[in-house]
Amino acid sequence: MVPRLKSRTERSRKPQNPDNGCRMSSFRTPSQLEPDLESHLESLECHFTWDLDLSRSKLLCLRDALEDIGPELGYCWLGHIYNLQGFVHHQLGLLEDARRLLCRAAEAFRQLRNTVSDEGPWLVVNYGNMAWLHHQLGEWARSGEYLSKVGALMTEYPSPSADDPHPEICAEKAWTLMKFNQKLLAVDYFQKAIRMQPDMVEWHTSRVLALVEASKKQNLDSDILEKVKIAKQHDPENLHLVALYLEAQAQKGARIHDEAQKLARKVLAKPVSSYSGVKPLLRLYRTHVSMDEAVDLAEEALERQPNSRYIKKCAAICYKRKVFSQSNKHLDRSLMDRAISLHKQTIALYPHSSLKMQISLANMYVKSNQRVEAEDAFKELLRRNLDPEEEQMVCSFYAKYLQYSQKERKKSVRFYMRAAAIPHHSFYRDDSIRRLERMSEEKRQPMSGDIEHFLVHLSI
């Protein structure tokens, strides 16, 4: 018996919760299996071979993010959404859910393309995913069938480029990479797809969105601004694009208050979705209109959609920004209470993907002088089984709380050290190291020697 083939992602992390009712009894390849089946699976263009190395926490966050897109405003990407959802559920060990979602993806592609044939190059990634899934369920014959389907599609629909996959594959890979915050690589794959098939409006739009996000929005250069303008003209119904364009204009000094109000009416009339433009609209209001109007707009959105967890999340972020923009001396108690309430509600709605919001809640307790609640919140987070970057984040924020609010410098040093000692590159590790370096240079720092010794022996 030959052990089953693992995807590249699985090699670094096994799927969670395998005992979920799926047919998992046969996880070994029978002796009669073609000896080159594993190499065929590895050569496929699909989520299982794209090196999408994910932690469990990232998978859970992505699962929630994909659900928040919704089927209406994510319509043109619906097949891709279901395809990625299927992969995410597989990685979480929910194999029957994965099968259902991948089947739904295939049907969505067929409906969206509205072609005479039920088959097309847009199904290559989906069939590749299905081949992997059936292989891991021990359904060897079905896996082979999907491998044959992939081969037939690639023969019938060869790529126009000798060096790159078919444009449909490039576009799906680009869209997927965007969801994993690999923006520049996503831009590259969108460019490849557009070069081969230039008539897909959504590819142009998504390429520009990836460019904007890669440039961190606040520092858009004139070339990218022009690309946003052109994309907006070709895709005028994309309100997310419109919000980004108004934001870019405001950064250049333009007065956008009237345009922002018109956009707000359109966004609020749309079905709730993370694609509807509500998040960049609220950021636009907070930064370039007024914080008060941003809060009012968030409340109006909540009144229209009181049961939407995504709107509640956006409103919680808006209130948090307003709270932390106020000095402690002039803190509005009712505003703080509303912010805390929204955070608690949102955390309950996103139980597996709300770590940052839980940290924000702890920091709001600090700001409102609820020290017992703050300490309890931080200690509860520290007790959790966190991923390396999550642990660095919690330790970093707790150390700041100890240093600045509690004036417990020795204890804060220990938590900066704990964050820095985790061998994972992140902003929080780098920031902890910088703070330790500054603290070691302080003349009256009693732990200077310990800090210097720690930094000297720290593997960076």
Please check whether residue 189 lies inside any domain of the structure. no
| β-pair partners for 2 | 29
* pLDDT tens digits along 360-376: 999 999 999 999 999 99
Share of the chain above pLDDT 90, in %: 76
pLDDT band at 329 (very low <50, low <70, confident <90, very high): confident
| β-pair partners for 3 | 28
Residue 131 and residue 41 share a domain: yes
Q: How far apart are CA 178 and CA 376, in angstroms?
A: 36
Amino acid at 129: N
Q: How many CB atoms lie within 10 A of CB 382?
A: 14
Residue 394 and residue 369 share a domain: no
Residue 149 and residue 9 share a domain: yes
Give residue 245's domain range.
215-289
The last residue of a domain, from among 125, 142, 158: 158
196 vs 4 pLDDT, higher one:
196
Residue 125 and residue 29 share a domain: yes
Please check whether residue 6 lies inside any domain of the structure. yes
Residue 31 has pLDDT above 50, yes or no: no
**CA angle centred on 123, ends 181 and 99, rounded to 5°:** 80
Q: How far apart are CA 285 and CA 448, in angstroms?
A: 45
Query: Domain of 11: which CATH number?
Result: 1.25.40.10
- Which of 170, 190, 17 lies closest to 89, judged by CA? 17
Please check whether residue 208 lies inside any domain of the structure. no
Please check whether residue 197 lies inside any domain of the structure. no
Residue 401 and residue 373 share a domain: no
pLDDT at 35: 53
Q: How far apart are CA 111 and CA 313, in angstroms?
A: 32
Please check whether residue 254 lies inside any domain of the structure. yes
pLDDT at 122: 96
Please check whether residue 193 lies inside any domain of the structure. no
Please check whether residue 233 lies inside any domain of the structure. yes
Beta-carbon contacts of 428 under 8 Å, excluding residues fewer than 6 positions away, are 389, 392, 393, 395, 396, 419
Cβ pair 447, 417 in contact under 8 A: no
Residue 341 has pLDDT above 50, yes or no: yes
pLDDT at 189: 98
pLDDT at 355: 97
* pLDDT tens digits along 182-202: 999 999 999 999 999 999 999
pLDDT at 138: 87
The last residue of a domain, from among 110, 126, 158: 158
Residue 373 and residue 393 share a domain: no
Q: Report, in this order, helix, strand and coil percent for the chain, each rounded to 5.
A: 70, 0, 30
* Average pLDDT estimate for 202-208: 96
The last residue of a domain, from among 379, 396, 423: 379
* pLDDT tens digits along 251-294: 889 999 999 999 999 999 999 999 999 999 999 999 999 999 99
Residue 237 and residue 142 share a domain: no
- Which of 394, 370, 365 lies closest to 380, judged by CA? 394
Q: How far apart are CA 291 and CA 295, in angstroms?
A: 6
pTM for the full model? 0.88
| β-pair partners for 29 | 2
Two tokens, residue 293? 């109007």
Overall domain count for the chain? 4
Residue 152 and residue 22 share a domain: yes
Residue 460 and residue 320 share a domain: no
* pLDDT tens digits along 399-448: 999 999 999 999 999 999 999 999 999 999 999 999 999 999 887 777 88
* pLDDT tens digits along 119-146: 899 999 999 999 999 999 989 899 999 9
Residue 337 and residue 273 share a domain: no
Two tokens, residue 312? 């509640």
Please check whether residue 413 lies inside any domain of the structure. yes
Residue 145 and residue 26 share a domain: yes
pLDDT at 115: 67
Residue 221 and residue 109 share a domain: no
Q: What is the mean pLDDT of the chain?
A: 89
pLDDT at 105: 96
